[in-house]
């Protein structure tokens, strides 16, 4: 039976609301989070951090701090320099600009760690942190993206503040004509505020070196396997010597995908001091020095015909990368999914990530979520102007199941998305007509009700193109006791994978759920996996458990058939009882079989390995799509601007559910975070880059009164193509929540005109809109006047932005002297949407012809092209992750090469090269 034929009907365990295995320990205070770990001889760590956003360090005085009783050591970058550490991105790629573990000569954001203090307890360590004196030569910081576009270079060694870019800067004239000549052009433009992921457990690490060969790291993280691999690669140590243990984790939401500066500094200090060290981030550090997310600006234009069909669209997008992002990013996923579920003939985009003097960018649940917010708000606005019902407009533009398989204009291959079908189901639960009557009545009474609807698709469990996110592993063994242990490369930070993976194993094996234990907390057990990342655990981890369990079932049947004088087809197992069908039913327990498999293997079939254990690595389909449509009803108080969410209904296609309670928990949690981002959450800075939301009194999180009771509907669910038919649900709520709520607020306040898209939509802001007055600035900050893209520096202190994609750049270089040395060996860095890729190559010339080869990961790619003077062009055909012809253009200046690579739908990437011997 193929996966698509798998019935969605609940199994014995799959599809059941099985109580969680984790709860017994977590409810009784017996969970083991990283701060609960103590190692003999352990000392405690605090950091001295920069109080300014940008400046050069003139001097550091550690003498007073070192003399404080109880202080063991105070270390700065120079002390840790004996270890060579290459900080890496989540994708295990080198960063665009080197990330120092501790600040070296300069500081780049408020909170930049300068010194690590090791003391008997955290109180003393913090005392000592306050006794360090650093003298700075302070400089004006670049805080906002507007400032980044025109201000000084955040990293002087770069040629611009663009950390990453994709898409095409040059307007596509054909597309512009379509947009400008269409019957209706709708434009949505707004800034999204910065968000702190805010797991209730902050980051933390206990590093316990056990001699030169062994290093045990207890870490609050999203996956011990990936984090162990990260440490091994970043430290240049063989992975076998690094063991990451991570039992219970108090939420991550993208923040704990990889170790970062403080964790690394703690580990290095523990190696240097040869003592176990503990660093537990406090909330002040978490809100100021942990990487953050979501600070973006977007302009989306979409052209419609009179019937509401999409003609063309263009998106321009920027994201604040901070000073040291966990992977410089221009967020290609925004562009992949902004119209990923819609019928749209033509689309183009330009995306940039910007360096600023703020703490770096990392992941946050649905990192590309702004695509849904922008699109769904645009559709509602267009609907109002076109005089078409907003639901109807979605029905006209969304792809339906019968339109698939198809490929979007961003190269996304779709076969089973169903947001339109989810919307159909949603509309059976939400009576829009009745609501409109209620809304009209309420307005007569001065009450403002609004209905918001949004749909989205969520890419889950991707398994192609990103080397760290390909497959997941499951090792299952029947213990000699007859109980089942499974080591899976999933990792729960509240996901409940110890329960859901046990459900899958128990169902597939035919054993009792209570007899299955799932282990996922130790990188030294089991195989590589990324843990909780990209909504992949149900699909990829579940598939691995199914695959391993099936192998084990085969072995059990063969062994039992041999022992019971029958054939494997006659053997079945249920609740751990192995039964022979036929005239003389016989049964043995799994325990009996395990006794023989481990204790008397000579009784097993000839050649069968002793014991009962298997392993399986599952690579799911390239991408598994989850779809949904949500509706919410709000009332906005016209006297206070307060938003009350009165009802929220979701309708999803989440495939086969392993545990509906867990699925709904993920949806609810994501929605609550989405509500927070719309109504209250905001990381803010003053003009000097000082964080101004540094406690949970300033950074407001949703409480029980801000989140309504959610109604779920799973009727639109169809099994996915993945083994088990599962789909991921980890991020969707956080993606669809914001547009659903914003559309409801906009609908409620429509009598006052279109609301301004300013986030968060605080009562103050909404009241200003209702009362028709300019908003009082919530954060006193000088307004930075928009400066046109400069071609020359406007003031002597502002460095000109050198745009590497400027078409004029190569032309200027053509005029350079013709005697250019092209032939020889080169090293290159290509800034791809997945982060920089480094490789080497050779080029040689003959006449005006150019030939060459790129060498990466023992793979060679040959190309041919032409050159004129120092201007080179060549094409390179690749097949992974998709078939695409990369069009390169570059110029050589001495031993340096600067150019660009057009990557089809992925836009243009920067190429830099350097001659090597």
| Window contacting other proteins (CB under 8 A); options: 233-241, 338-346, 698-706, 719-727 | 698-706
Q: Is 29 in the site for other proteins (CB under 8 A)?
A: yes
Q: Starting from the edge strand earliest in sequence, which strands make up the sheet with 613-618, in order? A: 516-519, 484-488, 472-478, 613-618
Nearest CA among 316, 386, 327, 396 for reference residue 355: 327
If one asks whether residue 514 binds other proteins (CB under 8 A), the answer comes out as no
Give the nearest distance from C-beta 661 to other proteins in angstroms.
5
The reply on whether position 646 binds other proteins by CB under 8 A is no
Buried b (16+ CB within 10 A) or exposed e, 529-539: bbbbbbbbbbb
Check: CB of residue 526 under 8 Å from CB of residue 520: yes
Burial category of 777 from C-beta neighbours within 10 Å (exposed 0-12, middle 13-18, buried 19 and up): exposed
CB 592 within 8 A of CB 480: no
According to the binding rule CB under 8 A, does residue 705 interact with other proteins? yes
Q: Which of 493, 497, 535, 837 forms a contact with other proteins (CB under 8 A)?
A: 493
Which residue in the set 59, 709, 795, 879 belongs to the binding site for other proteins (CB under 8 A)?
A: 709
Which CB sits closer to other proteins, 7 or 19? 19
What's the closest the beta carbon of residue 742 comes to other proteins, in angstroms? 18
Does 672 contact other proteins by CB under 8 A? yes
27 binds other proteins (CB under 8 A): yes
Stretch that binds other proteins, among 21-29, 371-379, 446-454, 601-609 (CB under 8 A): 21-29
Contact with other proteins (CB under 8 A): which of 223, 496, 529, 810?
A: 496
Paired sense of beta strands 113-119 and 43-49, if any: antiparallel
- Is residue 695 close enough to count as binding other proteins by CB under 8 A? yes
Q: How far is the CB of 28 from other proteins (least distance, A)?
A: 5
CB of 489 to other proteins, least distance (A): 19
Whichever of 501 and 872 has its CB closer to other proteins, that residue is: 501
403: preceding bond cis by omega (within 30 degrees): no
CA distance 30 to 23: 10
Sign of the Cα torsion 176, 181, 186, 190 reads positive
What residues contact residue 910 under an 8 Å CB cut-off, 6+ apart? 165, 804, 805, 830, 831, 899, 900, 901
Q: Which is nearer to other proteins, 29 or 817 (CB)?
A: 29
The residue (of 253 and 828) whose beta carbon lies closer to other proteins is 253
- 123 lies in the binding site for other proteins (CB under 8 A): yes
Nearest Cα residue to 336 out of 95, 167, 532: 167
- Number of Cβ atoms within 10 Å of the Cβ of 434: 9
d(CA 427, CA 390): 12
Q: Which residues pair with 875 in a beta bridge?
A: 864, 887
**Which residue stretch of 72-80, 661-669, 739-747, 880-888 sits at the interface with other proteins (rule: CB under 8 A)?**
661-669
Span 570-599, contacts to other proteins by CB under 8 A? none
Site for other proteins in 267-326 (CB under 8 A): 282-284
Task: Look at the chain and count its residues.
Answer: 917
Q: What span, in angstroms and rounded, lies between the C-alpha atoms of 375 and 394?
A: 11
Residue pair 628/732 in contact by the 8 Å Cβ criterion:
yes
Please list every residue from 840 through 899 that binds other proteins, using CB under 8 A: none
Using CB under 8 A as the binding rule, whether residue 40 contacts other proteins is answered as: no
How far is residue 390 CA from its own chain's centroid? 30
Token pair, residue 406, equals 């198809």
Give the binding-site size for other proteins (rule: CB under 8 A).
56
In angstroms, give the least distance from the CB of 193 to other proteins: 18
| Closer CB to other proteins, 283 or 562, in the complex | 283
Asked if 669 interacts with other proteins (CB under 8 A), we say yes
Alpha-carbon distance of 56 to 156, in angstroms, equals 12
> Could you tell me the smallest distance in angstroms from the CB atom of residue 496 to other proteins?
7
SS3 455: strand
411 is a site residue for other proteins (CB under 8 A): no
* Closest CB 196 distance from other proteins, rounded Å: 10
User: Would you say 208 and 276 are in contact if contact means Cβ atoms under 8 Å apart?
Assistant: yes
Angle ∠(369,360,775) on CA atoms, nearest 5: 60
Residue closer to other proteins (CB basis): 565 or 709: 709
**Interface pattern 245-274 for other proteins (x via CB under 8 A):** ---xxxx-x---------------------
- Considering only residues 164, 293, 638, 671, which one is a binding residue for other proteins as defined by CB under 8 A? 671
Binding mask 192-231 for other proteins (x = CB under 8 A): ------xxxx------------------------------
Distance CA 524, CA 227 (A): 12
CB 68 within 8 A of CB 131: yes
Q: Looking at 182-190, 517-525, 689-697, 780-788, which segment touches other proteins (CB under 8 A)?
A: 689-697
DSSP-assigned letter for residue 209: E
User: And the tokens for 535?
Assistant: 């909504």
C-beta of 13 vs 350, nearer to other proteins: 13
Tell me whether residue 445 is exposed, middle or buried, using C-beta atoms within 10 angstroms of its C-beta: 0 to 12, 13 to 18, 19 or more: exposed
Site for other proteins in 799-838 (CB under 8 A): none
Of 39, 152, 153, 701, the one binding other proteins by CB under 8 A: 701
- Which residue among 82, 697, 773, 880 contacts other proteins (CB under 8 A)? 697
- As measured in angstroms, the least distance from the Cβ of 719 to other proteins is 24
Interatomic CA distance for residues 97 and 90, integer angstroms: 15
Contact status: 23 vs other proteins (CB under 8 A) = yes
For residue 642, what is the DSSP state?
A: -
- Residues at the interface with other proteins (CB under 8 A): 17, 19-20, 22-24, 26-33, 35-36, 123, 198-201, 248-251, 253, 282-284, 492-496, 661-662, 664-665, 668-673, 695-697, 701-705, 707, 709-710, 733
């Amino acid at each position: 039976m193929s996966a698509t034929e798998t019935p969605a009907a609940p199994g014995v365990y799959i599809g059941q609301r099985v109580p969680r295995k984790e709860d017994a320990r977590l409810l009784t205070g017996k969970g083991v989070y990283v701060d609960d770990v103590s190692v003999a001889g352990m000392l405690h760590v605090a950091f001295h951090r920069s109080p300014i956003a940008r400046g050069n360090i003139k001097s550091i005085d550690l003498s007073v701090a070192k003399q404080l009783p109880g202080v063991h050591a105070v270390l700065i970058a120079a002390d840790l320099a004996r270890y060579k550490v290459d900080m890496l991105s989540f994708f295990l790629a080198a960063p665009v600009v080197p990330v120092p573990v501790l600040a070296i000569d300069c500081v780049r954001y408020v909170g930049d760690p300068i010194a690590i203090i090791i003391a008997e307890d955290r109180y003393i360590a913090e005392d000592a942190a306050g006794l360090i004196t650093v003298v700075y030569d302070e400089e004006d910081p670049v805080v906002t993206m507007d400032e980044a576009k025109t201000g000084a270079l955040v990293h002087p060694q770069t040629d611009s503040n663009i950390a990453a870019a994709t898409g095409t800067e040059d307007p596509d004239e054909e597309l512009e004509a379509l947009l400008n000549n269409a019957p209706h052009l709708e434009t949505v433009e707004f800034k999204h505020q910065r968000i702190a992921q805010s797991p209730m457990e902050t980051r933390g690490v206990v590093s316990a070196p056990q001699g030169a060969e062994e290093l045990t790291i207890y870490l609050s993280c999203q996956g011990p396997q990936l984090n162990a691999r990260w440490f091994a690669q970043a430290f240049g140590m063989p992975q076998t010597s690094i063991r990451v243990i991570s039992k219970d984790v108090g939420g991550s939401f993208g923040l704990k995908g990889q170790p970062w500066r403080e964790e690394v500094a703690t580990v290095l200090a523990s190696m240097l001091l040869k003592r176990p060290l503990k660093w537990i981030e406090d909330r002040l550090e978490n809100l100021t020095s942990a990487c953050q997310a979501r600070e973006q600006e977007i302009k989306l234009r979409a052209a419609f015909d009179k019937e509401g069909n999409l003609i063309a669209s263009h998106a321009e997008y920027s994201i604040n990368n901070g000073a040291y992002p966990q992977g410089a990013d221009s967020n290609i996923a925004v562009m992949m999914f902004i119209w990923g579920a819609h019928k749209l003939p033509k689309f183009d985009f330009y995306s940039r990530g910007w360096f600023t003097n703020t703490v770096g960018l990392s992941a946050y649940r649905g990192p590309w979520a702004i695509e849904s917010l922008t699109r769904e708000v645009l559709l509602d606005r267009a609907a109002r102007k076109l005089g078409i019902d907003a639901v109807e407009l979605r029905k006209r533009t969304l792809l339906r199941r019968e339109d698939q398989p198809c490929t979007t204009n961003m190269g996304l291959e779709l076969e089973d998305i169903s947001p339109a079908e989810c919307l159909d189901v949603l509309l059976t639960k939400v009576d829009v007509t009745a609501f409109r009557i209620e809304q009209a009545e309420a307005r007569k009474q001065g009450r403002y009700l609004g209905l918001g609807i949004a749909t989205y698709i969520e890419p889950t469990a991707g398994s192609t193109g990103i080397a760290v996110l390909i497959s997941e592993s499951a090792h299952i063994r029947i213990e000699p006791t007859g109980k089942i242990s499974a080591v899976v490369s999933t990792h729960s930070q509240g996901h409940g994978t110890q329960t859901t993976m046990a459900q899958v194993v128990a169902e597939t094996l035919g054993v009792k759920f209570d007899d299955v234990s799932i282990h996922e907390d130790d990188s030294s057990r089991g195989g590589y996996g990324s843990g909780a990342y990209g909504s992949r655990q149900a699909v990829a981890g579940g598939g691995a458990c199914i695959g391993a369990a099936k192998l084990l079932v085969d072995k059990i049947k063969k062994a039992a058939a041999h022992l019971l004088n029958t054939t494997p087809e006659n053997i079945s197992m249920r609740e751990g009882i192995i039964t022979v069908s036929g005239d003389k039913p016989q049964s043995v327990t799994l325990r009996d079989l395990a006794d023989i498999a481990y204790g008397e293997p000579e009784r097993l079939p000839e050649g069968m390995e002793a014991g009962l254990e298997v392993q399986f690595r599952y690579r799911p389909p390239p991408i598994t799509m989850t779809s949904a449509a949500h509706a919410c009803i709000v009332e906005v108080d016209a006297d206070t601007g307060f938003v009350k969410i009165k009802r929220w209904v979701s309708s999803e296609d989440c495939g086969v559910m392993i545990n509906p309670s867990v699925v709904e928990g993920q949806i609810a949690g994501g929605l609550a975070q989405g509500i927070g981002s719309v109504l209250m959450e905001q990381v803010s800075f003053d003009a000097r880059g000082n964080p101004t939301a540094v406690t949970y009194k300033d950074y407001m999180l949703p409480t029980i009164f801000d989140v309504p009771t959610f109604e779920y509907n799973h009727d639109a669910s169809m099994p996915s193509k993945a083994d088990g038919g599962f789909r991921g649900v980890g991020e969707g709520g956080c993606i669809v929540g914001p547009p659903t709520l914003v559309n409801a607020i906009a609908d409620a306040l429509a009598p006052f005109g279109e609301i301004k898209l300013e986030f968060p939509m605080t009562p103050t802001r909404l009241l200003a809109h209702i009362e028709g007055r300019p908003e009082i600035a919530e954060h006193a900050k000088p307004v930075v006047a928009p400066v046109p893209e400069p071609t020359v520096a406007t003031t002597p202190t502002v460095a000109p932005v050198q745009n590497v994609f400027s078409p004029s750049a190569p032309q200027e270089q053509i005029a350079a002297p013709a005697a250019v040395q092209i032939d020889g060996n080169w090293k290159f860095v290509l800034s791809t949407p997945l982060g920089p890729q480094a490789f080497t190559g050779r080029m040689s010339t003959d006449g005006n012809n150019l030939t060459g080869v790129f060498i990466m990961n023992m793979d060679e790619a040959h190309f041919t092209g032409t050159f004129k003077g120092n201007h080179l062009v060549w094409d390179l055909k690749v097949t992974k992750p998709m078939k695409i012809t990369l069009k390169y253009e570059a110029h050589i200046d001495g031993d340096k090469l600067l150019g660009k690579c057009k990557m089809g739908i992925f836009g243009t990437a920067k190429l830099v090269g350097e001659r090597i011997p």
